[in-house]
Amino acid sequence: MNPVKHLVHGGEFLVEEILPEAIFTPEDRTDEHHMMANTARQFISREIHPNNERIEGGDFPFVAEKMKQAGELGLLAHSIPEQYGGLGLDKISKGIVGEALGNASGYSVAHSNHTCIATLPITYFGTKEQKEKYLPKLASGEYIGAYCLTEPEAGSDALAAKMTAKLNDEETHYVLNGTKIYITNASFSDTFIVYAKVDGDKFTAFIVEKDFHGLSIGPEEEKMGIKGSSTCSVLLEDCQVPVENLLGQVGKGHLIALNVLNLGRFNLGFATMGAAKYSLQLALEHVVERKQFGRPISEFPLSQEKIAEMAAKIYAAESLLYRTAGHIESALGEHEDSEDFAAVAKAMNEHALESAICKVVGSETLNDVVDESLQLHGGAGFIKGYPVEQAYRDSRINRIFEGTNEINRLLIPGVFFKKVAKGEVDAPTLIEKAEQSIRDQRYMKEGELHELKSAVAMFKDLYIVTSGLAYQKYGESMKHEQETLKRLADVAISIYATESVVLRTLKNGNDKLGEWKKKLAFTYKEIAVQQMQATVLTLVSTLMKGKERQKMLQSLSVLFTPFYGEDSIKRNREIADVLIQEKKYVS
């Protein structure tokens, strides 16, 4: 595939108009992409779903066996360069495999953890010798990997780790001491990416093998969901790690830990989207079969409204995830065998904001969809044996994985404020222009999908104005105002999601499903407008005072009115009719 040219920098969407040709969409997938998706889906349907009970029962040797089988099919190798036994595919392929695995419960977690945060640190930050030694085995499934960051006193604050590493007198080994907790794949992994502080203060990454003296695995955790994935503590007691297994540079482990997590968040977004599509399918299959008051519950308008909104949210998640895949590929695609670790870290960090949005939107879309799917199942959804019961339990962890959604939200506004502080953004001019647009209330653009494009333009002005108000009120103490930062993040998320929907629909609005995409786009726009109005009104109420506050609140009420559609009920019923007939998500 020829990736999208890197026309868009991280966070640029907040202040600039983005053109449709600058983004990647699902419709841009190549034959190779479709082949990879089919391989992954067939593997899941043939090898994982029929064995769900065994996997859910915690047969982890069987899970490891299935991962090795996936390795034989190339499903562990997509992100590893060809010269090290991988397929050397793009980040779109990585996302596609993640999506296909999304309905595979605990197995999906084990597989994705291995291919992403347990392998990519070596791929991007390993020496040539480390890559030659480990990557071919990780690509084939001969080795399974784990990622060890969390500690009893270091979760979201990863750099607060207490694990220590000290070079021995012979300078042949680092001696590691400490405990890592909640480690996925721990019971059957061969390699562990472990973070420790050299001499107690230099945060550093190491590649640790399961047979290294001093490493032991704790008992399995009893989890609410994803029971098919192994989760244990990893204990290191005077663990002897050869100096050649130091990963990256001493004291530079944060560049690996935090930047690899960006890709983990991006990948988690795809997995949760796949799970959301599966949850919608479960709902559609049930509402067609289940009858109440003498007719299928699929015929009831409230059921149809739920179905239409579930599909619209998935359409938005799908649009922004593939868009981000294109952005990340264009930034990172040429760095897989680079020895310039600083350049690699910078490329990984380019779209940190968008990756955080992928994680938040993907996990919360799944949360909404699986919750409504269970609701449409009624009492049956609460009974074991119905797949939606397991899907509901499994979904909950995703708002905690890869940094909680709260932490990810706090990261999002920081990108804008950093650009302002560095002078990369002319904030006074932007704010003045945005305030003028809001006063004039001239948002009705011309051309195709003008209502949707106008909504995005309004959203961006509201972000700029509320960010300016927040900085004016709090200044340098802004980082402590978490309630405000959270709401500014919600505005940024709505911008990115809605703009992704609009750009995708504009780019593909004339294909055979063009009119269908437009219906989904308009339904999502109305969801976003409702969320945006509530969020912005809260921000303005908090950040302004007196007559100016009252004047702005009145102006905003008028500003949002044109963006509520006249035909939303009719449109949503039409969307539901198609989905009920197909019994699956359609885009």
- Give yes or no: residues 421 and 543 share one domain: yes
Q: What is the Rg, in whole angstroms, of the alpha carbon atoms belonging to the chain? A: 24
Residue ending a domain, choose from 146, 175, 191: 146
Query: Is residue 350 one of the residues assigned to a domain?
Result: yes
pLDDT in tens, 416-439: 888 888 888 888 898 998 988 888
Q: Work out the average pLDDT over 116-141.
A: 97
Mean pLDDT, the chain, integer? 94
- Give yes or no: residues 99 and 22 share one domain: yes
User: What whole-number distance in Å separates Cα of residue 81 and Cα of residue 79?
Assistant: 7
**Cβ–Cβ < 8 Å for 110, 33:** no
Please classify residue 549 by burial: count the beta carbons closer than 10 Å to its beta carbon, then call 0-12 exposed, 13-18 middle and 19+ buried. Answer: middle
- Give yes or no: residues 195 and 277 share one domain: no
- Give yes or no: residues 392 and 410 share one domain: no
**Cβ–Cβ < 8 Å for 531, 490:** yes
Res 446: pLDDT:
72
How far is the CA of 187 from the CAs of 23, 133, 283, in angstroms? Answer: 41, 22, 35
Residue ending a domain, choose from 146, 174, 206: 146
- Give yes or no: residues 385 and 479 share one domain: no
Res 418: pLDDT:
85
Beta bridge partners of 175: 166, 240
- Give yes or no: residues 420 and 516 share one domain: yes
- Give yes or no: residues 158 and 225 share one domain: yes
Q: Work out the average pLDDT over 306-320.
A: 98
Tokens 């994680």 locate to 359
How sure is the predictor about 1, in pLDDT bands with cuts at 50, 70 and 90?
A: very low
- Give yes or no: residues 151 and 69 share one domain: no
CA angle 319, 321, 327 (to 5 degrees): 105
Query: Is residue 7 one of the residues assigned to a domain?
Result: no
Residue 447 has pLDDT above 90, yes or no: no
- Nearest CA-CA partner of 273 in 156, 357, 185, 390: 357
- Give yes or no: residues 415 and 390 share one domain: no
SS3 track for 192-238:
EEEEEEECCCEEEEEEEECCCCCEEEEEECCCCCCCCCCEEEEEEEE
CATH number of the CATH domain containing 241: 2.40.110.10
Query: Is residue 5 one of the residues assigned to a domain?
Result: no
CATH number of the CATH domain containing 315: 1.20.140.10
**Cβ–Cβ < 8 Å for 213, 255:** no
Residue ending a domain, choose from 146, 162, 185: 146
Query: Is residue 194 one of the residues assigned to a domain?
Result: yes
**Cβ–Cβ < 8 Å for 538, 564:** no
- Give yes or no: residues 436 and 560 share one domain: yes
What is the number of domains present in the chain? 4
Query: Is residue 587 one of the residues assigned to a domain?
Result: no
Q: Where are the beta strands (DSSP E) in 30-126?
A: none
Marked catalytic residue, from 329, 402, 499, 526: 402
pTM over 0.85: yes
Check if 402 is active-site. Answer: yes
Query: Is residue 207 one of the residues assigned to a domain?
Result: yes
Q: Domain limits at 131? A: 12-146
Query: Is residue 29 one of the residues assigned to a domain?
Result: yes
Query: Is residue 272 one of the residues assigned to a domain?
Result: yes
- Give yes or no: residues 494 and 557 share one domain: yes
- Give yes or no: residues 36 and 167 share one domain: no
Highest mean pLDDT pick, 2-11, 255-264, 467-476, 574-583 = 574-583
Please classify residue 37 by burial: count the beta carbons closer than 10 Å to its beta carbon, then call 0-12 exposed, 13-18 middle and 19+ buried. Answer: middle
b/e 287-307 (16+ beta carbons within 10 angstroms → b):
beeeeeeeeebbbeeebbbbb
Residue 465 has pLDDT above 70, yes or no: yes
User: What whole-number distance in Å separates Cα of residue 328 and Cα of residue 92?
Assistant: 9
